[in-house]
């Protein structure tokens, strides 16, 4: 039973649209057949951060019974959706680098030919409907949609917030299906004594923005949680050591819940020194302990 008192979202209406120009694209989307219908529900669905078995039965049910699924990147979401049997049209917020219909796993390529592939191939039907437009049409027709990200809980360090705002503008209810989060999975490994922490996502990339960002953390008394890419990891650890102190206790988690998971504890300076050159590929979460209270 979901939060709205219904055991499942509305059934998926049929329809197909083409690829959107620009940054958004969509496989297909239902046409609004009843403009007077009560708006549907947007479900914010948490997905695994590494281990596919962490998808909850409720999350899989919501994905299978939604009329439209809005994803961050189609190429990363399709395997999960196929695994759980979701066949709704897929609208994406990030276009692939390859041309539509070309290359393995390109957004325009039909998925699972002859085997119940996800949604409709891109390029058939109407053209020019973006992901947010498809979402608004779906919700205003009275059908329900699901929002997922590449991994974890949507709306945290990803474009999901724009989807939630569009659903609210359409008058739809917004509900959350909780589940995996790399930030939460990592912060509990540190053993923070009071449970208080601040999450800052990815540090800024701009050369002028980074120094100001790290300086702003110097007075923070809570545990800090950051995401970082391998490319910037060494630079970030060194900058944190400079602003927070080289001996500040920290934890560096990589690829949580997968068979390549690693968790390393130490000081900020020792974590930076222990990195391979270049750092191994993967998804990194950095947890930094609060400063040690000064002796009276």
pLDDT digits (tens, 9 = 90+) for 254-269: 999 999 999 999 999 9
The per-residue pLDDT for 265 is 96
Closest to 8 measured CA to CA, from 67, 71, 78: 67
Query: What would the pLDDT profile of 132-151 be if each residue is shown by its tens digit?
Result: 999 999 999 999 999 999 99
pLDDT band at 8 (very low <50, low <70, confident <90, very high): very low
Distance of alpha carbon 9 from its chain centroid, rounded? 21
Contact indicator for 29, 138 with CB cutoff of 8 Å: yes
- Residues 260-282 have a mean pLDDT of 92
| Spatial CB neighbours of 123, under 8 Å, sequence gap ≥ 6 | 18, 19, 100, 101, 108
Between 277 and 33, where is the model more confident?
Answer: 277
pLDDT at residue 106 above 90?
no
Task: Say how far apart CA 175 and CA 251 lie, in whole Å.
Answer: 32
pLDDT band at 294 (very low <50, low <70, confident <90, very high): low
- Residues 229-234 have a mean pLDDT of 94
- Residues 92-101 have a mean pLDDT of 48
Closest to 254 measured CA to CA, from 228, 229, 284: 284
Task: Say how far apart CA 161 and CA 248 lie, in whole Å.
Answer: 33
pLDDT at residue 195 above 60?
yes
DSSP-H helix ranges across 85-226: 131-140, 160-169, 182-190, 209-216
pLDDT band at 218 (very low <50, low <70, confident <90, very high): very high
pLDDT band at 277 (very low <50, low <70, confident <90, very high): confident
- Residues 168-186 have a mean pLDDT of 96
Contact indicator for 109, 4 with CB cutoff of 8 Å: no
pLDDT band at 36 (very low <50, low <70, confident <90, very high): low
Query: What would the pLDDT profile of 155-165 be if each residue is shown by its tens digit?
Result: 988 889 999 99
Task: Say how far apart CA 77 and CA 283 lie, in whole Å.
Answer: 16
| Residue-range domains of the chain with CATH | 25-177 (3.40.1010.10), 182-288 (3.30.950.10)
Q: For residue 242, count CB atoms less than 10 angstroms from its CB and return exposed for 0-12, middle for 13-18, buried for 19 or more.
A: middle
pTM of the predicted structure, to 2 decimals: 0.75
């Amino acid at each position: 039973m979901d939060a709205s008192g219904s055991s499942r979202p509305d059934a998926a209406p049929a329809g197909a649209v083409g690829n959107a120009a620009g940054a958004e694209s969509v496989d297909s989307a239902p046409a609004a057949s009843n403009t007077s219908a009560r708006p549907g529900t947007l479900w914010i669905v948490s997905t695994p951060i590494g281990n596919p078995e962490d998808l909850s039965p409720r999350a899989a049910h919501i994905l299978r019974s939604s009329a439209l699924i809005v994803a961050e990147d189609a190429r990363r979401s399709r395997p999960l959706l196929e695994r759980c049997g979701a066949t709704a049209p897929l609208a994406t917020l990030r276009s692939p680098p390859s041309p539509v219909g070309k290359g393995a796993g390109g957004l325009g390529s039909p998925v699972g030919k002859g085997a119940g592939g996800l949604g409709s191939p891109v390029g058939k039907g109407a053209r020019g409907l973006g992901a947010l437009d498809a979402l608004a049409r779906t919700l205003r027709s009275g059908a329900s949609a699901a929002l997922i990200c590449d991994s974890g809980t949507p709306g945290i360090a990803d474009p999901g917030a724009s989807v939630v705002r569009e659903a609210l503008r359409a008058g739809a209810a917004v509900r959350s299906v909780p589940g995996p989060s790399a930030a939460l999975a990592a912060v509990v490994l540190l053993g923070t004594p009071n449970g208080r922490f601040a999450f800052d996502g990815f540090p800024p990339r701009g050369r002028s923005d980074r120094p100001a960002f790290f300086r702003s953390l110097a007075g923070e008394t809570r545990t800090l949680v950051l995401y970082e890419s391998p490319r910037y990891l060494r630079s970030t650890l060194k900058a944190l050591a400079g602003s927070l102190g080289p001996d500040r206790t920290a934890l560096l988690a990589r690829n949580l819940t997968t068979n390549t998971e690693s968790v390393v504890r130490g000081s900020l300076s020792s974590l930076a020194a222990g990195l391979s050159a270049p750092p191994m590929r993967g998804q990194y979460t950095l947890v930094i302990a609060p400063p040690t209270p000064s002796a009276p």
